[in-house]
A and B are shown apart, each in its own frame.
Chain A
Amino acid sequence: MDFLTCLIIIPILTVFAILFCKNNKQVRLVSAIGMTFQLIQSIHLVIRYLFERRLGNTAEVLFQKDYLWFESLNIHYSIGVDGVAVAMILLTGIVIFCGIFASWNVQYLSREFFISLILLSTGVFGFFISLDLFTMFLFYEIAVIPMYLLIGIWGSGPKEYSAMKLTLMLMGGSALLLVGILGIYFNSAAGGGSLTFNILEISKTHIPLSSQYLFFPLTFIGFGVLGALFPFHTWSPDGHASAPTAVSMLHAGVLMKLGGYGCYKIAIFLLPDAARELGWIFIVLTGISVIYGAFGAVVKKDLKYINAYSSVSHCGLVLFGLLMLNKTAMTGAILQMVSHGLMCALFFGLIGMIYGRTHTRMIDEMGGVMKVLPFLSVAYVICGLASLGLPGLSGFVAEMSILVGAFQHPDFFHRVATIIACASIVVTAVYILRAVGIMLLGPIINKEYLGLKDATWEERLTIITFIIAIAGVGIAPLWLSDMIGSSLQIVIDRF
């Protein structure tokens, strides 16, 4: 079978296998096995990709396959990956693998839970390997819809409200996106020939400037909603707060990356002139996201809200980097997606684990957790340090690439925006250390905590996997940044 299609087949097979399971234990075992294969397949993909490149294969995308499935509109199942997609697939593989272990103890309707979770990941994998706009959009919707069920059924707090808000806002984004995609489609034959949804073919033609002006904002905002672009970020805090642990992990870790990836792959890559001319509007918005999210997190008391706002800030930096339209900053933006995906997923995982023990997410109701839950607390501190950009962990590499790249921009405006975005490194330190200080350190204020048990084996597995990935990227970033950077060259050449 086709190498990339495996990434979709494995989850689907897992879903079928789950249908035949008899009880909880079997369900989670089957899920774990399936997603372990998926992780192995993702790592395998990275290795094969790097190997092919080393052999001197300089094609735009590798492992390309193309099947026509809807002839009258020229829609293909067209797949292939570049360095960026490979990085994203690796990220998704890690997050879904850990997500399964983080939901180890879901009891209520566990079969349906795991099915939705894995279906969601299928959509994500499909999205990253697609080269056809329509198929990509299809996978995008597959990834977004199960979210409604996952939050609405297995969530906590005002879950119906949050689920509805999230889904409606993302659907609103999708509506803009659909118009944008169709707009691109109907302009795709500008150079003669037939209309096409194929991204690589569209990138060879030159879409008329007036259409670009119209459709760039639509696609950028459409994906930007998912990427928590100010002021369309407001689904994120409520959604994360109500979602069950694994869903938060997957959502922050992977789903929000669809937004950034879409902005890069569709809005910027296909509509480069508009991106150059209109970029400043979105630079202002993303700049606001970065600062606004960080300050928003400073006063929050609920751990999930802190992280949700922190995500707004970090994802703002992703879009900010992309809009700088130079190789360094864009590489940094993709790295930031990987880095944020890993650490935010770990954060939400840890919050779930801590909540499972203390039954509160309010930092001021906890205190001295370090003493009773050393493993979880140390992991939380490491994750926090990654988030505030400590060298040696992934966040630093990403942020620095974005900031250095952005500052090389010849325009004064961009450099000033960069300096403003830099300020977030201080504010990030404030909210991270505040949470760590109040929640983990200090004396134990609740005597009942003395009997708490530290991480179980599946939790340790989740945490250690993430930390290895975060430190791996942080200590040896060169291969990843090279892999991403060389694939970005064709995007840069369009400006």
Chain B
Amino acid sequence: MQFDFSYTIWIVLIPFLAFLFTGIFGGKLKPFISGLIGTAGLFISFSLSVITAYRYFFEIEKTSGAFQKIIAHNTVWLKFSENLHVDLGVLLDPISIMMLIVITLISLMVHIYSLGYMKGDAGFSRFFTFLSLFSFSMLGLVVATNIFQMYIFWELVGVSSYLLIGYYYEKPSAVSAAKKAFIVTRFADLGFLIGILLLSYTTGTFDFLTLTDTGGTAILQGSGVPFLGMSTMTWALLLIFMGGAGKSAMFPLHVWLPDAMEGPTPVSALIHAATMVVAGVYLVARLFPLFVFSAPNALEIVGYVGGISSLFAAIIACTQIDIKRILAYSTMSQIGYMMLALGVSGYGGENGLGFMASMFHLFTHAMFKALLFLGAGSIIHAVHSNNFSDMGNLRKFLPVTHITFLIACFAISGIPPFAGFFSKDEILVAAFEHNKILFFIEFAVAGLTAFYMFRLYFNVFWGKETHYHSTPHESPFTMTIPLIFLSIASIGVGFIPFNELVTSDAKPFEILTHWDIAVPSVAMAIVGISTAMLFYKKENSISTVVVSFLGKFYRVALNKFYFDELYLLITKKIVFRFISEPIAVFDKKVIDGAMNGIAAITNFSSEKIKGMQSGQLQHYAFAFVSGAVVIALILLYLIEK
């Protein structure tokens, strides 16, 4: 059965129209109306996405057992040359449809949640305008038909993120966090851009279908000319991955993500947990055949970057006390898992287990991480603080938040039957089969994850009750409904058979349950949870003893391995002091100086020679005669010769 999918363009356009409408008329509307317009728009997009997913996965016929890639829409936007043109369009394939569901679902939840959370805020209407802009950009990114369209929306997503992090623009910390996020990701995007240039130069196309066609020419090219020991294609893909690493906050470009928590909490849930930060994973997945067939080295690097990031972030997360920052590091760690899964994956059938696991984890992670952030928002809403030292024993004040948060903690720790268990298990299996080092890293991280999540959980909901200024109370229903919905999702989505829907070559394959890996990893998580329970459920001094035992290492982790300082050094000291200021001085002294010097010399010499214009005849006659004599002598000399 064939369908016309051209309506899918509206999934992207409706949020854009909402953005334009509320952006232009926002000042004149009642704030709540702006919010409703944005929410309604997202609801339509969500419904359309669900219909599309249903039709795509269950109603259209597969060609030779694989889901087709459908170009639902494509218009030429800008022509560089005959082959290189930027199109704007909609590409439907399993991963883009999965992303459509994730984005519209989480965005819709966040919209509803924000109607309550942001109530009474002066910038309510602006907030929803930016949310619509973000949703539009993110949707445009995932349906991109070519890499340049992706870059376009990539930048738009970056700017929406900038605007939303800096939403509280009167707060200097928010302003500088927004700036940092934008500049760090822009730097990464520089790599992305150069990567695109290299890729288009070697393959002569931007188009994803041509690029990733496993039997096509693009994949075979570029391996010829090596540069610094790696083929052009490897360089191109590594540079493109740099863009992805920046957006996905991978080590060492992660520094912006924790600071980005300055934005309103719903924004952190949407952008910095569920959708935008996984754009890097999506980018690698989108170009996956290229990585596998023409640059396996690059793919290996992707895996290691993912592994290092996930361990690094998990260690830091164990030391922080700001609940949103803990969640931010946890996000970084989980995205590390997804990258790693891609890095250990092959192409086609069971070799593509890592790919499928990565997408699966992206999906489940979006649910429970959004839930965690929205829950954190609910907690912050109740106690007006981000630090868990200001919290304790909140379970009796916030019953709904408590239960839903606990579900999310189980999900992220990988306890069956919650969603995280299934996806994480597949990742571990894939890692075990391809790379033992990465497997053991991830195995350790699984324990750390359980530990830091339950450290957070026990500190907030158990432990000693602190003195609150006003009694904390449960959030309004606009906020609890999304929590409840997402907690149901966090339990249920693990049962979606991703191996039949979203795979590397779009063909279903069989997976076997690996009890030999699942059991130890669950045991590891339980160890993490028990340790956290022992440390933090009741007030005791075990944690302080451990901290003093770890000593220096703890302090280094607490200070995030001094990466912020490193970045400050680069920007303030090197860029400002050693590049920009010398240029300013050079400009002032040398270039300006040269021009002023020329002017001064002109002035000076005219002062000097103006005496010659004396007006006295005898001077002129003398000069004339002596000149004539000199010329005559020269002529004579020349003739003699």
A to B CB contacts below 8 Å, 21 in the list: A165-B595, A165-B599, A234-B587, A328-B80, A368-B170, A392-B152, A392-B156, A400-B78, A400-B86, A400-B148, A404-B84, A404-B197, A408-B81, A426-B183, A429-B182, A430-B575, A433-B162, A437-B178, A441-B166, A478-B77, A478-B78
Binding site for A on B (CB under 8 A): 76-81, 84, 86, 148, 151-153, 155-156, 159, 162, 166, 169-172, 175-176, 178-179, 182-183, 186-187, 189-190, 193-194, 197-198, 200-201, 575-576, 579-581, 583-584, 587, 591-592, 594-595, 599
The complex places the Cα of A296 from the Cα of B86 at a distance, in Å, of 33
Contact between B583 and A423, CB atoms less than 8 A apart: no
> CB distance B194 to A422 under 8 Å?
yes
Q: Which residues of A contact B169 (CB under 8 A)?
A: 370, 440-442
Bound CA span A450–B616, Å? 70
B76 touches A478 (CB 8 A): yes
- A477 and B78 in contact, given A418-B197, A433-B182 (Cβ under 8 angstroms): yes
Q: Does A206 contact B (CB under 8 A)?
A: no
- Chain B residues whose CB sits within 8 angstroms of the CB of A389 once the complex forms: 155
Question: Which B residues are CB-close (under 8 A) to A388?
Answer: 186
Decide: A481 near B78, CB < 8 A? Known: A296-B587, A299-B581, A426-B187: yes
| B599 CB contacts on chain A under 8 angstroms | 165, 168
B residues within 8 A CB of A185?
A: none
Measured in the bound complex, the distance between the Cα atoms of B97 and A416 in whole Å is 38
Give me the 8 closest cross-chain CB pairs, A-B, nearest first: A391-B152, A407-B197, A298-B580, A441-B169, A299-B580, A441-B175, A429-B186, A328-B80
Q: Is A385 an interface residue (CB 8 A)?
A: yes
- Check A404 against B200 for contact (C-beta < 8 Å): yes
For A430, the chain B residues whose CB sits under 8 A away are 183, 575
A residues less than 8 Å from B159 (CB atoms): 385, 390
The answer on a CB contact under 8 Å between A396 and B155 is yes
The answer, among A327, A405, A419, for a CB contact under 8 Å with B194, is A419
A 465-495 contacts with B by CB, 8 A: 477-478, 481-482, 485
CA distance A443 to B175 in the complex (A): 10
Contact indicator B576/A298 (Cβ below 8 Å): yes
Closest residue on chain B to residue A381 by CB atoms: B163
* B148: chain A residues within 8 A (beta carbon): 400
Alpha-carbon distance between A397 and B80 when the two chains are bound, in angstroms:
10
Closest residue of chain A to B77 (Cβ to Cβ) is A478
Residue of A nearest to B148 (CB): A400
Residues of A within 8 A of B81 (CB): 327-328, 405, 408
Q: Which residues of A contact B155 (CB under 8 A)?
A: 389-391, 396
Given contacts A433-B182, A441-B169, 15 further A-B contacts (CB under 8 A): A234-B595, A292-B587, A298-B575, A327-B81, A328-B80, A371-B170, A390-B159, A396-B155, A404-B200, A408-B84, A419-B197, A425-B193, A443-B172, A477-B78, A478-B79
User: In the bound complex, what is the Cα–Cα distance between A397 and B179 (angstroms)?
Assistant: 23
- A275 within 8 Å of B by Cβ? no
Nearest Cβ on chain B to A299's Cβ, whole angstroms = 4
User: Across the interface, do B77 and A477 meet the contact criterion of CB distance under 8 Å?
Assistant: yes
CB distance from A240 to the nearest CB of B (A): 14
- State the CA gap A433–B193 with chains docked (Å): 20
Q: Which residue of B lies closest to A392 (CB)?
A: B156
CB proximity of A117 to chain B, nearest CB, Å: 27
> Is the beta-carbon distance between B78 and A441 smaller than 8 angstroms?
no
On chain A, the residues within 8 Å of B80 by CB distance are 328, 401, 404-405, 408
For the complex, is A403 an interface residue (Cβ under 8 Å from B)? yes
Q: Which residue of B lies closest to A429 (CB)?
A: B186
- In Å, the complex CA distance between A368 and B77 comes to 38
Listed in ascending order, the chain A residues whose CB lies under 8 Å from chain B are 165, 168-169, 231, 233-235, 292, 295-296, 298-300, 327-328, 368, 370-371, 385, 388-392, 396-397, 400-401, 403-405, 407-408, 415, 418-419, 422-423, 425-426, 429-430, 433-434, 437, 440-444, 477-478, 481-482, 485
Of chain B, the residue at the smallest CB distance from A485 is B79
- In the complex, A422 Cα to B186 Cα: how many Å? 11
- Known contacts A299-B576, A433-B183; is-contact A403 B583 (Cβ 8 Å): no
Q: Does B170 contact A300, Cβ atoms closer than 8 Å?
A: no
Assembly CA distance A327 to B198 (angstroms): 19
Residues of chain A within 8 A of B194, CB atoms compared: 419, 422
**Complex Cα spacing A388 to B190, Å:** 12
Q: What residues of chain A lie closer than 8 Å to B587, measured between beta carbons?
A: 234, 292, 296
Contact for A234 among B151, B198, B591, CB less than 8 A: B591
Q: How far is the CB of B622 from chain A (nearest CB, A)?
A: 33
How distant is the Cα of A389 from the Cα of B156 in the complex, in angstroms? 10
Selected from A327, A415, A426, A437, the residue in CB contact (under 8 A) with B175 is A437
Tell me the smallest distance from the CB of B601 to a CB of chain A, in Å.
13
Which residue of the partner chain A has the closest CB to B156?
A391
Alpha-carbon distance A419/B575, docked complex (angstroms): 19
B residues near A231, Cβ cutoff 8 Å: 591, 594
Chain B residues with Cβ under 8 A from A392's Cβ?
A: 152, 156
| A371 CB contacts on chain B under 8 angstroms | 170
Contacting B190 at CB < 8 Å: which of A422, A444, A477? A422
In the assembled complex, the Cα of A203 lies from the Cα of B79 at a distance in Å of 27
Cα–Cα distance between A482 and B78 once the two chains are bound (Å): 9
A485 surroundings in chain B (CB, below 8 A): 79
**Across-interface contacts of A397 in B (CB, < 8 A):** 78
Of all chain B residues, which has the CB nearest A403?
Answer: B197
For B176, what are the chain A residues with a Cβ–Cβ distance below 8 Å? 437
Report how far A440 CA is from B172 CA in the complex, Å: 11
Most chain A beta carbons < 10 A, residue from B77, B575, B576, B587: B587
A442–B183 CB distance below 8 A: no
State the CA gap A404–B575 with chains docked (Å): 27
Given contacts A391-B153, A422-B194, contact A292 B583 (CB under 8 A): yes
CA distance A295 to B172 in the complex (A): 24
CA distance A397 to B151 in the complex (A): 12
Kindly report which residue of chain A lies nearest to residue B85, judged by CB atoms: A478
Q: Specify the chain A residue showing the minimal Cβ separation from B201.
A: A407
Smallest Cβ distance from A447 to chain B, in angstroms? Answer: 14
For the complex formed, measure the closest distance between the CB of B186 and the CB atoms of chain A, giving whole angstroms.
Answer: 5
| Cα A388 to Cα B176 with chains together (Å) | 18
- B residues in contact with A442, CB < 8 Å: 169-172, 175
B186, B580, B594: the one within 8 Å of A426 (CB) = B186
Given A299-B584, A433-B182, is A403 in contact with B201 using a C-beta cutoff of 8 Å?
Answer: no
Minimal Cβ-Cβ distance residue in B for A385: B159
Chain A residues, Cβ within 8 Å of B583:
292, 295-296, 299
B175 to A, closest residue via Cβ: A441
Contact B584 A296 (CB under 8 A): yes
| Chain B min CB distance to A407 (Å) | 4
* Contact of B579 with A295 in the complex, beta carbons under 8 Å: yes
Chain B residues with CB below 8 A from A429, complex form: 182-183, 186
Cα separation A315 to B81 with both chains bound (whole Å): 23
- Cβ–Cβ < 8 Å partners of B179 in chain A: 433-434, 437
For A237, the closest partner residue in chain B by CB is: B587
With a cutoff of 8 Å between Cβ atoms, the chain A residues found around residue B594 in the complex are 231
Name A396's contact: one of B84, B152, B579 (CB within 8 Å): B152
Between B84, B151, B193, the greatest number of chain A beta carbons within 10 A of the residue's beta carbon is seen for B193
B592 to chain A, nearest CB (A): 5
Question: Smallest distance from the beta carbon of B205 to chain A beta carbons, Å?
Answer: 12
Distance in angstroms between the alpha carbons of A441 and B78 in the assembled complex? 35
Most chain-A CB neighbours within 10 Å: which of B78, B84, B179, B580?
A: B78
User: What residues on A are CB-neighbors of B186 within 8 Å?
Assistant: 388, 425-426, 429
Q: How far is the CB of B17 from chain A (nearest CB, A)?
A: 14
CA distance A285 to B344 in the complex (A): 46
Instruction: Name the residue in A404, A440, A444, A477 with the highest tally of chain B Cβ atoms < 10 Å from its Cβ.
Output: A404
Q: Which residue of B lies closest to A161 (CB)?
A: B596
CA distance A442 to B587 in the complex (A): 31
Instruction: State the Cβ distance, B595 to closest chain A Cβ, in Å.
Output: 5
Cα A370 to Cα B594 in complex, Å, equals 40
